[in-house]
Amino acid sequence: MIIARTAVELRAALDSKTGSIGFVPTMGALHIGHRTLIEKARVENDVVVVSIFVNPTQFLAGEDLSKYPRREEADFKICQLSGVDILFYPEVDAMYGNDEVSIKAPDIRGYILEGAVRPGHFDGVLSVVIKLLNITRATRAYFGKKDAQQLALITQMVENFFMCVEIIAVDTVRESDGLALSSRNVYLSASERIEALKLSASLKRATHLVMQGVRASNEIQRVMFEILQPLDVEYVAIVNRRFESISEVVIGDTIVLVAARVGTTRLIDNVWM
């Protein structure tokens, strides 16, 4: 596995390879969710590039940038064992200069739900993703459905800017008890870890309600809120794949999303119907 720390090093590494490039961008502290993306990239491409970069521009003031988990050695091993060809591991100044051209998330879709709670977060996400997609010359790039709004906005950016990369959505990987894997789960104490199960439990209940024929979004949201008590719920939302709020679930075009704080840890989860 080649480790590249700058765009120039990455380009040199890529020049020694041929064929399709599968790219998995991450912020490290790799878990089985990340590994699932990497494995899919491995199966579908000749060359696999993974980036590990805790992107400062997507963290708001007061968020967990400085304490975001960093696991360099373990991450390198996981990449090596997963058959990654090139690991891109840049410092901040290898990614950003002064007075740059800026990328801004769309006014509505970028500033609702996650974008409302974390205004400007998606500007930072899109800024780093466009850089990474360009540096890696990715044929295909892999993103988790767990970050559904991020996935939708990246897909939109690729369309809006006529970029030549295929965005591949990967199902959320969960622990056996339902908790969606997240690098932030390490912040949870044992009792918070149990409380955190309310997120996936509420989504499971939403799925059951829909299977029983319930379609009204407000009814599903009401039941979910009940299950989520006493967590500090930021939102429970029911949207279509374009992230427009919908009053009735339409099978095949609905995403049910939840964001809540468990102690001081912010968790998100969703289910696609």
Residue ranges binding ligand AMP (CB under 6 A): 26-27, 33-34, 36-37, 143-144, 146-147, 170, 172-173, 180-183
CB of 248 to ligand AMP, least distance (A): 27
Of residues 146 and 209, the one with the C-beta less far from ligand AMP? 146
Give the number of other Cβ atoms within 10 Å of residue 16's Cβ.
10
Classified as helix, coil or strand, 227 is: helix
Place of tokens 């739900």: 113
Is 208 considered catalytic here? no
Runs of H (alpha helix) within 82-143: 114-117, 121-136
Strand order in the sheet with 232-239: 232-239, 255-262, 265-272
Are the CB atoms for 1 and 86 separated by under 8 Å? yes
In contact, 130 and 174? CB cutoff 8 Å? no
Closest CA to 259 of 180, 177, 186, 175: 180
**Shortest spacing between CB 269 and ligand AMP, in angstroms:** 9
CB closer to ligand AMP, 131 vs 146? 146
Catalytic residue among 31, 34, 121, 208: 34
CA distance 148 to 72: 27
User: What's the closest the beta carbon of residue 108 comes to ligand AMP, in angstroms?
Assistant: 22
Shortest Å, Cβ 58 to ligand AMP? 9
Give the residue with the Cβ less far from ligand AMP, 37 or 157. 37
Is-cis flag, bond preceding 230, omega within 30? yes
181/273 with CB nearer ligand AMP: 181
Query: Which residues carry out catalysis?
Result: 34
